[in-house]
Amino acid sequence: MSEHDDSTDFSDVTAEIEEVKEIAADLRSVLPTRIEAAVQRALDAHEGTGPDARVAELHALALDTAQRTRALAADVRADRVSRIEDLEVVVDLLAEGLGAVRGDVAKLEARSVRIEKELERLTWALDRVGTHLERMADDVDPPAAPSV
């Protein structure tokens, strides 16, 4: 690069710095006025309402929010109580059902024991009848003659 190019670049940078300084000076003089105007517009949006009215409005909104929160908490508690009561009913029904099943199983067991005893008695009686029939058959049939 030549000396001429360096001085051109330096003068361009200097010009840009001067331009930024001018913009900053303009902003310093205009910015406070613009901020005041923006604040005034925001206050005018709530025309006729002073700070006390806005505080009262915020207070009313806070009270409404608190009341709704209490109502929601009461609903949640009521729902929990209802669910617990429902669970109690289910547990009671299950306990009654299991008790009934146990009773039925005990009755079936007693019946099966009685049937088993009856079957043993019938088996013993049938064995006796079979033995008795075999003796009768032996008494009725003459012994066969030996074949020659």
Q: What is the pLDDT of residue 49?
A: 59
Mean pLDDT for back-to-back runs of 10 residues, the chain (148 residues): 59 83 80 79 66 80 92 93 94 95 95 96 94 87 62
Q: Hey, where are the domains in the chain?
A: 7-45
> For residues 37 and 44, what is the distance between their CA atoms, to the nearest angstrom?
10
Query: 54 Cβ partners below 8 Å, 6+ apart?
Result: 46
> Does the global pTM surpass 0.75?
no
Q: What is the pLDDT of residue 111?
A: 96
> In Å, how far are 16, 22, 35, 40, 55 from 28, measured between CA atoms?
18, 10, 11, 19, 34
Q: What is the pLDDT of residue 57?
A: 84
> In Å, how far are 23, 104, 113 from 75, measured between CA atoms?
61, 43, 57
Structure token pair of residue 78: 């009521």
Q: What is the pLDDT of residue 45?
A: 67
